């Protein structure tokens, strides 16, 4: 599939604007964003006016717009990196591609710029294979196939719910790792896509991601917020928690999640050592989250994504709520998110 073969009317590109000047970001992505509809959501805590160059089909949403759609009391769900979820909420397209505003197109080993949008859509339109691992990675990629011994009964695969891209230069490491290895940069470009096996957990990053909104839209939920959450990725956990919810729900409903290509080039932002000086509870919460998801089994009666999110929220409150108030708040936010999703999408 090439850029010319993609139905651009099926794709929204959602950008969470934490920086006011998007000129360099959008100019760098111009060749690949051209012809697509963009949804830019301004962080409600950002005071400056956005600077967006001409030539893009773009809708911009501010705090005022959020309050009109979800109410003033609910707009607080969409601050910081979570502002992009508002774009997921109001989009009406089949596919969502979301890339952080500190990323530019990467170059492949031959020196060509990577078209992340096209690669994400290819990943989503081709089936996933979560039930039996293919050692030649994604068998639907050009040059690959199913290996000997792969059951023919499983070769049709399952629908792909999400495509989790990666990063060159500044990889998505946590603050302790980045602070310990201050000069570490990712230079490894692995030309591969693979389906994450069923029942396997993974820390999905919101930096470079795409998903099938029609399949799993409500599962992309802004829920787990940390006290004193900052404006750099390693001071947040919302996307990691969201990803664990998404993966568990995808497994339950019989969908797959892919990781690998496409890469983006991630520019420098923030100071890991400075972030460590804050009282960051993310690591402790993750150690409690992993055994929870490992043992969690959603009821067979949960047949819709919205039902799965509600059941998951109920389990979070019952099993984790007493450990940390952040989990209780996350459970309440998950219920509120489903209510907003149903309200916004039914009115549309």
The string of DSSP codes covering 150-216 is --GGGTT-B-EEEEEEEEEES----HHHHHHTTT--B------EEEPPTT------SSEEEEEHHHH
Q: Work out the pLDDT band at 280, boundaries 50, 70, 90.
A: low
User: Distance (Å, rounded) from C-alpha 202 to C-alpha 264?
Assistant: 19
Q: Given this model, what pLDDT does residue 283 score?
A: 82
H helix runs in 41-166, sequence order: 63-70, 84-90, 116-125
Q: Given this model, what pLDDT does residue 278 score?
A: 64
- Is the separation of the CB atoms in 172 and 232 below 8 Å? no
pLDDT higher than 60, residue 2: no
Q: Compute, in degrees rounded to 10, the torsion defined by CA atoms 314, 316, 320, 322.
A: -40
Does residue 86 belong to any structural domain of this protein?
A: no
Place of tokens 């990725």: 233
What's the farthest any 2 CA atoms get from each other in the chain?
A: 58
Q: Work out the pLDDT band at 347, boundaries 50, 70, 90.
A: low
pLDDT tens for residues 48-74? 999 999 999 999 999 999 999 999 999
pLDDT tens for residues 287-310? 999 999 999 999 999 999 999 999
Q: Given this model, what pLDDT does residue 56 score?
A: 96
Mean pLDDT of the chain: 93
Is residue 293 helix, strand or coil?
helix
Q: Given this model, what pLDDT does residue 227 score?
A: 75
Q: What is the DSSP string of 243-282?
A: HHHHHHHHHHHT-EEEEEEEEEEEPP-S-HHHHHTS---H
Range of the domain at 217: 103-346
Q: Work out the pLDDT band at 274, boundaries 50, 70, 90.
A: confident
Number of domains in the chain: 1
Does residue 182 belong to any structural domain of this protein?
A: yes
Does residue 13 belong to any structural domain of this protein?
A: no
pLDDT higher than 70, residue 155: yes
Does residue 307 belong to any structural domain of this protein?
A: yes
Does residue 281 belong to any structural domain of this protein?
A: yes
Q: Work out the pLDDT band at 1, boundaries 50, 70, 90.
A: low
pLDDT higher than 80, residue 28: yes
pLDDT higher than 90, residue 173: no
pTM metric for this prediction: 0.95
Q: Given this model, what pLDDT does residue 141 score?
A: 92
pLDDT tens for residues 191-211? 999 999 999 999 889 999 999
Does residue 37 belong to any structural domain of this protein?
A: no
Mean pLDDT of the 251-276 span: 90
Q: Work out the pLDDT band at 231, boundaries 50, 70, 90.
A: confident
Q: Work out the pLDDT band at 179, boundaries 50, 70, 90.
A: confident
Percent of the chain at pLDDT above 70?
97
Q: Given this model, what pLDDT does residue 5 score?
A: 79
Q: Given this model, what pLDDT does residue 3 score?
A: 52
Does residue 337 belong to any structural domain of this protein?
A: yes
Does residue 15 belong to any structural domain of this protein?
A: no
More confident residue, 227 or 326: 326
Nearest to 38 by CA among 16, 13, 17: 13
Q: How far is CA 254 from CA 6, 135, 163, 185, 251, in A?
A: 25, 21, 16, 36, 5
């Amino acid at each position: 599939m090439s850029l010319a073969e993609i139905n651009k009317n099926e794709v929204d590109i959602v950008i969470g604007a934490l920086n006011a000047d998007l000129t360099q970001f959008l100019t760098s992505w111009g060749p690949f964003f051209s012809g697509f509809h963009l949804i830019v959501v301004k962080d409600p805590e950002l005071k400056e006016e956005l600077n967006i160059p001409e030539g893009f089909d773009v809708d911009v949403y501010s705090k005022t717009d959020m309050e009109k759609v979800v109410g003033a009391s609910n707009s607080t769900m969409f601050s910081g990196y979570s502002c992009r979820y508002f774009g997921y909420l109001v989009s009406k397209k089949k596919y969502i591609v979301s890339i952080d505003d500190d990323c530019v197109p990467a170059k492949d080993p031959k020196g060509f710029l990577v078209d992340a949008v096209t690669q994400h859509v290819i990943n989503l339109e081709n089936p996933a294979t979560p039930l039996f691992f293919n050692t030649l990675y994604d068998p639907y990629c050009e040059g690959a196939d199913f290996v000997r011994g792969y059951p023919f009964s499983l070769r049709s695969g399952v629908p792909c719910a999400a495509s989790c891209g990666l990063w060159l230069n500044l990889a998505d490491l946590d603050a302790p790792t980045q602070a310990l290895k201050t000069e570490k940069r990712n230079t490894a470009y692995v030309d591969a896509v693979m389906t994450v096996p069923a029942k396997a957990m993974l820390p999905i990053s919101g930096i470079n991601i795409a998903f099938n909104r029609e399949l799993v839209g409500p599962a992309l939920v802004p829920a787990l917020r940390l006290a004193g959450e900052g404006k750099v990725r390693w001071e947040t956990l919302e996307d990691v928690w969201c990803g664990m919810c998404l993966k568990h729900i995808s497994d339950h409903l019989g969908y797959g999640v892919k990781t690998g290509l496409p890469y983006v080039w991630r520019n420098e932002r923030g100071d890991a050592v400075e972030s460590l000086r804050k009282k960051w509870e993310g690591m402790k919460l993750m150690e409690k989250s992993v055994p929870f998801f490992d043992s969690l089994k959603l009821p067979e009666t949960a047949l819709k994504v919205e039902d799965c999110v509600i059941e998951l929220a109920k389990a979070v409150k019952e099993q984790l709520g007493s450990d940390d108030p952040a989990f209780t708040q996350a459970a309440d936010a998950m219920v509120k998110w489903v209510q907003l999703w149903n309200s916004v999408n039914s009115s549309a």
